[in-house]
Structure 1
Amino acid sequence: METALTRLVGVRHPIVQTGMGWVAGPRLVSATAEAGALGILASATMTLDQLRSAVREVKSRTDAPFGVNLRADAGDARDRVRVIIKEGVRVASFALAPSKELIAELKDAGVVVIPSIGARRHAEKVAAWGADAVVVQGGEGGGHTGEVATTVLLPQVVDAVDIPVIAAGGFYDGRGLVAALAYGAAGVAMGTRFLLTSDSTVPDPVKARYLAATVKDITVTTRVDGLPHRMLRTELVASLEKSGRAASLARAVRHAAAFRRISGLSWLRMARDGLAMKHGKDLTWSQVLLAANTPMMLKSAMVDGRPDLGVMASGQVAGLLEDVPSCAELIGRIMREAGETTERLRGLAAPQPQS
């Protein structure tokens, strides 16, 4: 299936595996790329050396195109951009809108720039700055999310910009891919569906918690980092929502210290990143401090296998997922379903025989 997305990035199928922190590592990304979709390596929780090593590991596993997800507000964002340029990465994706200058630097080096956005005005802004495509995530999506459903947000953005639009939030099968294409999208991006594959390094007991969830077991809370965050409803999340402000801030300080040790960042660099985040999202200092919760609480579940100590970001589609296929099996199935759905729709449009 050829679309504006497949032509832009050089993949066979219009499917993107999103850059999930602690989840989208070299194994998942390379398996996705080998299966013909676009894998995105998550770099926010990596040091520069770890990022360089991860990129090289993906390249040792596959010759197919892949991307790296970057935090545009990170103090070392430009250093990370230089790494992916030097290493020949095909795509740079961003969770927040990158600056006009950062987009220009990447494009001058031949890197495709694909920011993720959650509002029409953000899509218009990055398109005007030269972004090559955008990922549009509706409120159904996992992790940090907005209030507008994909079925409302997607056509808004498709009508507003003239660059390829990739739909995210609520997609997991071939029917969804065809629906997104019908809206005018050039493909779909999926996180939770790829998290629940055999190529994902998330521990099996954690995957089992996702598979057991119903759509009512997925909630949005602000008590992890002060921002709306979609995740599985667990005993820990319930306790966080009941905890007071002082306990929340104390927990955030502990997690900030732990993330500093893992990331190798200095307190000064973390303070600068926090300042950039504060201005970029108009947050209070309490919210900036709470944001230190996110990487460490995700790591507890996604790496350490301790959902009792961590949180599990999740799209609402987790309540519909029942298996853990390989990336190759998943992508093959989605494309078969998309073909069958397209044929069925063609049948609906066929002329009826005269009586």
Structure 2
Amino acid sequence: METALTRLVGVRHPIVQTGMGWVAGPRLVSAAADAGALGVLGSATMTPDQLRSAIREVRSRTAAPFGVNLRADAADAPDRVQIMLDEGVRVASFALAPSAELITRLKEADVVVIPSVGARRHAEKVAAWGADAVIVQGGEGGGHTGEVATTVLLPQVVDAVRIPVVAAGGFFDGRGLVAALAYGAAGVAMGTRFLLTSDSTVPDPVKARYLAASVREVAVTTAVDGLPHRMLRSDLVEALERSGRARALGHAVRRAEGFRRLSGLTWRQMVRDGFALRHAKELSWSQVLLAANTPMLLKSAMVDGRTDLGVMAAGQVAGVIDDLPSCAELVERVMAEAEEVLTSLERLSVGR
């Protein structure tokens, strides 16, 4: 299936595997790329040296195109961009809108720039700055998310910009792909659906928690880092929601120190990144540190398998997913379903 997205990045199918921290490592990315989707490395939880090694490992596993996801507001974002350029990565995605200067630097190196946004005005901004495409995530999406549903946000953005739009938030099958195309999107991006594959390195007990979750158990909370964050309900999340200010601050300091040691960042850099994640909003010190320490809470579950100590970011689609196919099986299934739906619609249109 050829769309503006497949032509732009050189993949066979209009599907993007999103760059999830601790989840989108070389094994998952290379499997998604081999399946014909655009695999995207989640680099925010990697050190610069780990990022370079991960890029080289993906390339050793597959000859298919892949990308790297970056935090545009991270203190070392320019250094990470240079690693991408040195290693010949051709696609850069961003969890937050990159600056005009960063977009220009990447485009001068012939890198495809695809920011993720959650509002029409942000899509218009990055399009004006020269972004090649945009991923639009509605409120159904996992992790940090907005309030507007994909079915409302997507057509707004499609009508507002003249670059390819990729739909995210609530997609997991071929029906969703066709629906996104009908809205005018050039493809779909899926995170939770790729997390729940046999190629994902997330521990099996954690995957089991996702598979057992109902739609109502995938909720939005601000207790983790002060921002709306969609994740599975758990004892930890409920405890954080009940915590007082002092207890929350102590919890944040302990977790943030763990991430500081792991990442090699200084406290100054972590606090700066915490403020950046919160943008210009009013926030307490515990919220700043919680924002900086969120990667450690995610690592506890996604890497260490500690569902009691970590958080499990999840799109609402976790409540309707019940299997763990390989990436190849998943992509093949999605495309087959999409073809079936398109055929049915064609028959409907001619009255057969």
TM-score of Structure 1 vs Structure 2, range by shorter chain:
over 0.9
User: AA paired with 1:179?
Assistant: A
How far apart, CA to CA, are the structure 2 residues paired with 1:275 and 1:308?
Answer: 27
Q: Counterpart of 1:37? A: 37
Q: Counterpart of 1:304? A: 304
User: Are the equivalent residues in 2 in contact too, given 1:251–1:293 (CA < 8 A)?
Assistant: no
CA shift digits 1:137-164 (9 cap, x unpaired)? 0000000000000000000000000000
Deviation (angstroms), 1:240: 1.3
* Change in 2 beyond 3 A, CA 1:281/1:307: farther
Q: Counterpart of 1:91? A: 91
User: AA paired with 1:302?
Assistant: M
How far apart, CA to CA, are the structure 1 residues paired with 2:6 and 2:282?
Answer: 37
Q: Counterpart of 2:23? A: 23
Q: Counterpart of 1:160? A: 160
User: Are the equivalent residues in 2 in contact too, given 1:277–1:283 (CA < 8 A)?
Assistant: no
**Greater shift after overlay, 228-237 or 149-158?**
228-237
How far apart, CA to CA, are the structure 2 residues paired with 1:241 and 1:13?
Answer: 41
Q: Counterpart of 1:216? A: 216
Q: How does 1:176-325 map to 2 (within 5 A)?
A: 176-278=176-278, 280-286=279-285, 287-325=287-325
User: Are the equivalent residues in 2 in contact too, given 1:224–1:293 (CA < 8 A)?
Assistant: no
Listed as ranges, the gaps of 5+ residues in structure 2 are none
Deviation (angstroms), 1:284: 1.9
How far apart, CA to CA, are the structure 2 residues paired with 1:136 and 1:259?
Answer: 29
Q: Counterpart of 1:68? A: 68
**Count of residues paired in the alignment:** 351
State the secondary structure of the residue aligned to 2:79.
helix
User: AA paired with 1:273?
Assistant: D
State the secondary structure of the residue aligned to 1:13.
coil
How far apart, CA to CA, are the structure 1 residues paired with 2:284 and 2:19?
Answer: 27
User: Are the equivalent residues in 2 in contact too, given 1:118–1:145 (CA < 8 A)?
Assistant: yes
State the secondary structure of the residue aligned to 2:259.
helix
User: AA paired with 1:299?
Assistant: K
* Change in 2 beyond 3 A, CA 1:136/1:126: same
State the secondary structure of the residue aligned to 2:114.
strand
State the secondary structure of the residue aligned to 1:223.
coil
User: How large is the Cα RMSD of the aligned pairs?
Assistant: 1.0
Deviation (angstroms), 1:216: 0.9
Deviation (angstroms), 1:292: 2.5
Q: State the identity as a percent.
A: 77
Deviation (angstroms), 1:266: 1.7
How far apart, CA to CA, are the structure 1 residues paired with 2:102 and 2:302?
Answer: 31
State the secondary structure of the residue aligned to 1:230.
strand
* Change in 2 beyond 3 A, CA 1:281/1:332: farther
Question: TM-score w.r.t. structure 2 length?
Answer: 0.98
CA shift digits 1:83-142 (9 cap, x unpaired)? 001101111000111000000000010110000000000000000000000000000000
User: AA paired with 1:130?
Assistant: G
Question: TM-score w.r.t. structure 1 length?
Answer: 0.97
State the secondary structure of the residue aligned to 2:170.
coil
User: AA paired with 2:108?
Assistant: D
Q: Counterpart of 1:343? A: 343
User: Are the equivalent residues in 1 in contact too, given 2:171–2:190 (CA < 8 A)?
Assistant: yes
Deviation (angstroms), 1:264: 0.8
Deviation (angstroms), 1:236: 1.5
How far apart, CA to CA, are the structure 1 residues paired with 2:317 and 2:282?
Answer: 29
